[in-house]
Structure 1
Amino acid sequence: MLLMVLVTLVIAYVGLCVLVFLNQRQLVFPVPPGAREPELPGATLLRIPGPEGSTVYALHVPAPDGAPTVVHFHGNGEQLADEAWLAQRFQEAGLGFYAVEYPGYGLAAGQGPSEAGIYAAAEVALEHLHQKLGVPRERTVLQGQSLGSGVAVEMAKRGHGTRLVLITPYTSIVDLGARIFPWLPASLLVRDPFDSAAKAPGLELPVLIVHGTRDEVIPVDMGQRLGTLFPSATVRLLEGRSHNDVLDRPSVLRELMEFARGGARKADTGQPEP
């Protein structure tokens, strides 16, 4: 009798693992419904030929002469049109802005989202930025929010920028999965690991990490840990801020812009800011 119970439990557990494995991309990539074109005076929506006949979409705000361009990778619950407000803020500050859409999202909804597919689209968009739009890597700042933090780290690893901003980042999707589902073997099941922690020690560029102390989606200690793994990182802990409101503070945006321009970073105290 006990053996039968154990066999039943094992079968149920294996079935749960299979179910999670097959449906995990709906959790990692909760694509918002609909497709909207971003609207911003002075910005251009680019349609760039991508891999296997696909189209890579990017929103481009040209930088004034000599100013850097911030390349932004959005969160997993957003699409390109949702970044128009952020593009406008950087535009008003005299900086260039370049946001890249993910396969499976918004205007690129006909494709399926995956880590490899997102990297491929980002690579195409960045090569277009450098080769066709004339923005050198030396004036390119990579910026990623939430899911996009892993994309920004990978593009930094490929040498596309000289500065890196990570907003509410995770160490890896494997680590995050293990936190959410501690009873599952996340390291065996995750198809899209986005392993920023493994890449961080090899990246020598300056890094700014911003994380809210009350982040309910990605634990703040993940941002803190990344800060110890990059050779040159500053961590900003925002007291009382959650996952989606860290950019609501004008002071935070100003610091991101100062960092993008190459401004001096304040010493990292490791303490939350009020």
Structure 2
Amino acid sequence: MSRILVSIVVIAAALYLALCAGLWVFQRALIYFPQPGSADSATTQMRLVVDEAQVLVSVRPRDGPQALIYFGGNAEDVSANLPQFAQAFADHALYLMHYRGFGGSSGSPSEEAIAADALALFDQVYADHRQVVVIGRSLGSGVAVRLASQRPVARLILITPYNSLEELAARQLPIFPVRWLLRDRYDAWKYARRIQVPTLLLAAEHDEVIPRASTERLLQQFAPGVARLEVIPGTGHNSIAASPRYLPLLRKGM
């Protein structure tokens, strides 16, 4: 092998290792895209103090046993759902969690931090409402299914869900050893196996972010008879909530 060829190989290897190091260091900047809260200042907010972080939750209070907890996507302002949910779920108290770094919450997002915050929120809500429906959309579907495997939720609804984030990342970055680099894996399949409550998986027909195959692999992880899949035709990953079938299917899942 010539000296020039050796030099090219060494430079290419060094560049590849540098890119791997960059993915390791900056990976969370590629997963989470914090958004400010857009709801008006009159919106009721609950403040959770968890591990020295302050996590904000947009709330529509309601007395009674029924409540809904919502976990959004990786670039979602969850408070924007509040007017729509308030009309659709009139009998439920609503709790929409802003991940760390999102919507005024302090701290930085990570899988373990968000999972801990989700448990803290559920425990506080469950003290006042004994029938808690948990909804997770996109990234939040992984948060929701993990929570439902650890707490007595009444029902579980997963919107545009995935089997695992590792699987999606490997599809997007096939030349990198994602299995060894990824810190936040969101292995929804692992927690789905433990779910015993009625579960609805809601998919977009033309989801350009999460392949249908990933959603269907997750569906197969649930025990027989626990989960079912509904596909909303003519929708994409970010347009599913605009479909006239979206809220009726959510209500049906509850």
TM (normalized to structure 2)?
0.90
- Distance in structure 1 (CA, Å) of the matches to 2:88 and 2:63: 11
Alpha carbons of structure 1 residues 167 and 183: separation in structure 2 relative to 1, 3 Å? same
User: Which residue number in structure 1 is paired with residue 75 of structure 2?
Assistant: 77
> In structure 2, the residue corresponding to 1:47 is in which secondary structure?
strand
* Other-structure match for 1:122: 118
Partner of 1:250: 244
- What runs of 5+ residues in structure 2 fail to find an aligned partner? none
CA distance in 1, matches of 2:161, 2:60: 25
Post-superposition Cα deviations, 1:33-76, rounded to whole Å, max 9, x if no partner, equal x4445567xx6311233222x2221122234545x322110111
1:218-260 residue CA offsets vs partner (Å, 9 max, x unmatched):
1122112111111111111222210011122233211211221
Q: Residue 268 of structure 1 corresponds to which residue in structure 2?
A: none
The answer to whether the aligner puts 1:155 opposite 2:147 as a matched pair is yes
Q: CA RMSD, aligned part only?
A: 1.9
Displacement of 1:142 after TM fit?
Answer: 0.9
Query: Counterpart in 1 of 2:20?
Result: 17
* Kept after mapping to 2: 8 A contact 1:56/1:124: no
1:146 counterpart = 2:138: yes
Equivalent position amino acid for 1:249 in 2? S
In the alignment, the residues of structure 2 paired with residue 245 and residue 80 of structure 1 have an alpha-carbon distance, to the nearest angstrom, of 15
Does residue 1:31 correspond to 2:34, yes or no? yes
Contact residue 36 and residue 107 of structure 1 kept, 8 A = no
SS of the residue 2:245 aligns to = helix
Gaps of 5+ in 1: 261-274
Counterpart-to-counterpart distance in 2, 1:28 and 1:173: 9
Pick aligned residue for 1:96 from 81, 93, 97? 93
Written as runs of structure 1 = structure 2, the 5 A alignment for 1:91-240 is: 91-92=89-90, 94-108=91-105, 110-131=106-127, 134-136=128-130, 139-231=131-223, 232-240=226-234
* Paired residue secondary structure (1:56): strand
Task: Write the letter of the residue equivalent to 2:102.
Answer: Y
Q: Percent identity?
A: 29
Q: Distance in 2 between matches of 1:145 and 1:215?
A: 13
Q: Hey, what's the Cα distance between the residues in 2 that align with 1:23 and 1:49?
A: 26
- TM-score, normalised to structure 1's length? 0.84
1:87 and 2:85 matched? yes
CA distance in 2, matches of 1:128, 1:38: 24
Any conservation in 1 of the 2:199–2:253 contact (CA below 8 Å)? no
